[in-house]
Structure 1
Amino acid sequence: MRRTFLSFLAASAFVCASASSLAANEPLKIGFVYSNPIGDVGWTYQHELGRRLVEKTFGDKVKTVFVENVPETADADRVIRQLVGGGNAMVFTTSFGFMEPTLKVAKQFPKVSFDHATGYKTAKNMGIYQSRFYEGAYLLGVIAGKMTKTNTLGFIGSIPIPEVLRNINAYTLGARSVNPKATVKVIWVNSWYDPGKERQAAEALVAQGSDILYQGTDSPAAIQVAQERGLFAFGQDSDMSKYGPKAQLSANTVNWGVYYVAKVREQLEGKWKPEDTKWGMKEGMIELAPLNPAIPADVVKLVEEKKAAIVSGQFQPFTGPIKTNEGKLVVAAGKTLSEEELWTLKWFVDGVASKLPQ
């Protein structure tokens, strides 16, 4: 059932009823809230693939609905509330800006199970889930560091929150691990999805000497610009190679389905509980898209070795010594950035040639 936010509001009447009133023989109703249009690539598209996997896995035991293009404002409160009123016993809200609305509604409906993506607040009936995207970003950085000719890499920033800063920093660390001369320039568009601004940022980065582009945004604009200019780029969230088959070196993709299937199974078995889940390559949540044949064999081998070390736990990208781009030592040699520090990170590593927005 594909509905935009506005059509959903027009068609839905609030019903002040608990999802727990469902008959035992009825399917488990599950609601998904998306911040962007689904499209065919990107963050929301990957969540949609996860929803479809839930339906495929559990068949008539579940019934899912979704609302796309929901503003990350108080309007999200109404959408979440209406999903509960529609009998959904589980609700997944899939973007950082939905944190406060989800928390508010969760407290009002204690018998409904809520899961919120990328936030940091929980409740007795609200868990959070995040990906270790930075693991894939580090590997893409290794590729970029080996393949750049200008030693200038461009990054299109969405919103300067820890999850985006982790990716920029990990990408930079990966690049400089194989090429100490590599630097990363960042241009912020202050949006998760704005193809026009993303294209402008990509073109500006190219004008500043960037020969490889990466992003924290949703559209394939950077891939398209790279394809047009004969340069390279990386996809984010999804494999975006169809928009630039020669340009895309790989993509840092996320498989939300592994998490959704696990949590829905827990709900069906009466075992669901709110958790702080952070999954990465080891759990199959983070995956690199197929590598472009243009990548030299020795680089492919290096990436495979680094990936194996990450999966086995032998290597963590944020292992010291690490300095900020202002010269402050934040991780000593032989030490690894703590979990709490990773998820509250508010600085750039040495090699990022841009200042953090104030």
Structure 2
Amino acid sequence: MSQPPARTGLSRRAFVSSALALGAAGVLVRPAAAADPIKVAGVYTVPVEQQWVSRIHIAAEAAAAAGQITYTFSENVANTDYPRVMREYAESGIELMIGEVFAVEAEAREVAADYPEVAFLMGSSFLEDPSLPNFAVFDNYIQDAAYLTGLIAGAMSEAGNIGMVGGFPIPEVNRLMHAFMAGAREINPDVTFQVSFIGSWFDPPKAKETAFAMIENGADLLYAERFGVSDAAQERGLLAIGNVIDTQADYPDTVVASALWHFEPTLQAAIAAVNAGEFEAANYGVFSYMREGGSSLAPLGTFEDKVPAEIKTLVQERQDAIKAGTFTVEINDEEPTSS
């Protein structure tokens, strides 16, 4: 089970500089042609349209457009094929590889060990290993924004019965659900939750059917950790809370608020480290924190005048306190359960 990065308020500059304090041993040094764009490859097990991966893909495309990197990627890579694709990219001269290795942790680290000249920045449930200096980890610590959406949900659910549909009960999902639940309970201590996992990162029909079952069981608001849940809410005229991306434009009368993940700070820290010849094993999870710009609450948009004024005031106060470091959202990686 992953552990949260130290809550030290570490800035990007301090993060990169900290590599020097550990000495040159184990640091990946880039050749002298550092002025050239970094050659980056993305390896993804799902389509780049999927919520989580889309944030990585968008950040990489922006860096490529800015001339910082060249970027190629493979999507829908089966877990059994993942190590082979990693090796092919490594053999092609890639300098930085990004992706998600939650289901192939051991195999991915074996590949990284065989290509010490390549920097690997991979979504992972585990921490970095100093003995594998070219393999850094990250995931989406966006519990801050998830908590804020919970405050809103607690006020918007009239029945006090919220359905929550997730992909897998892994830390990256669990911590967001718990933060959301904490926010909802703060507004309505009697709120109940129906929690279910569909066993897939991308199966909108299954997520939709699971959501329908929760609605039949009394849920009047849904937490859409997966695609398909907001469709169920929309068809039944109920409300939903989004995750990772803002889908309100597609569901203007359904999605009240969303917790957004921004991968740009994470990727920019890695680019800076590679260019400086200072890339090493580290936990980049800190760059997903709200105070680092790695997460935010989506604009209320069509629900700006529908969310109670006192709740909007509370949300703003908590958001300011989170950014100032005076309010901490608890990180709970345990599997959540129904009430």
Alignment TM-score > 0.5, same fold: yes
Query: Please, which of 12, 34, 37 is the counterpart of residue 44 of structure 2?
Result: 34
Tell me the residue number matched to 2:309. 297
Residue by residue over 1:171-227, the C-alpha shift from the partner in whole angstroms, topping out at 9 and shown as x without a partner, is 11111111111111112101111011011011111111111111332x2x2222222
After superposition, residues 131-170 of structure 1 pair within 5 angstroms as: 131-170=140-179
Residue 307 (1) aligns with residue 292 (2): no
- 1:115-152 deviation digits (Å, cap 9, x = unpaired): 11133143211011122222111111111111111110
Question: Which residue of structure 1 lines up, in the alignment, with residue 274 of structure 2?
Answer: 267
Alignment of 1:61-80 (within 5 A): 61-71=68-78, 73-80=79-86
The SS at the match of 2:145 is helix
How far 1:22 sits from its partner (Å)? 10
Structure 2 residue 44 is matched with structure 1 residue 55: no
TM-score normalized with structure 1 length: 0.79
1:20 CA drift (Å): 7.6
Q: TM-score, normalised by structure 2?
A: 0.84
Mapped to 2, the partners of 1:227 and 1:275 lie a distance apart of 42
How far did residue 48 of structure 1 move?
1.0
In structure 1, the residue matched to 2:243 is: 236
CA distance in 2, matches of 1:125, 1:313: 31
Gaps of 5+ in 2: 1-28
Supply the distance in 1 between the matched residues of 2:298 and 2:84 (Cα, whole angstroms): 37
For residue 52 of structure 2, the aligned residue among 15, 38, 43 is 43
Aligned to 1:346: 334
Task: Go from structure 1 to structure 2 and tell me whether the alpha carbon gap of 1:109 and 1:313 turns closer, same or farther (over 3 Å shift).
Answer: same
Which residue, 81, 87, 92 being the options, matches 2:98?
A: 92
Shift in alpha-carbon separation, 1:24–1:53, aligned structure 2, 3 A: closer
**CA distance in 1 between partners of 2:101 and 2:257 (Å):** 24
Task: Specify every segment of 5 or more residues in structure 1 that has no aligned partner in the other structure, as ranges.
Answer: 1-18, 319-336
Instruction: Give 2:11's aligned residue.
Output: none
RMSD: 2.1
Report deviation, 1:98: 4.0
- Matching residue's letter, 2:211: A
Residue of structure 2 in register with 1:15 after alignment: none
Q: Which of structures 1 and 2 has the larger relative contact order (alpha carbons within 8 angstroms, sep 6+)?
A: 2
Q: More deviation in 145-154 or 271-280?
A: 271-280
Separation of aligned partners in 1, 2:143 and 2:121: 21
Instruction: Work out whether residues 236 and 253 of structure 1, in 8 Å CA contact, stay in contact via their aligned partners in 2.
Output: yes
- Aligned partners of 1:118 and 1:129 also within 8 Å: yes
**Structure 2 vs 1, CA of residues 24 and 47 (structure 1 numbering), >3 Å: closer, same or farther?**
closer
- Give the share of equivalent positions with the same residue, in percent: 29
TM-superposition CA deviations, 1:309-341 (whole Å, max 9, x none): 1122211222xxxxxxxxxxxxxxxxxx6xxxx
Amino acid aligned to 1:163: E
Contact 2:30 2:276 in 1 (8 A): no
Aligned length: 303
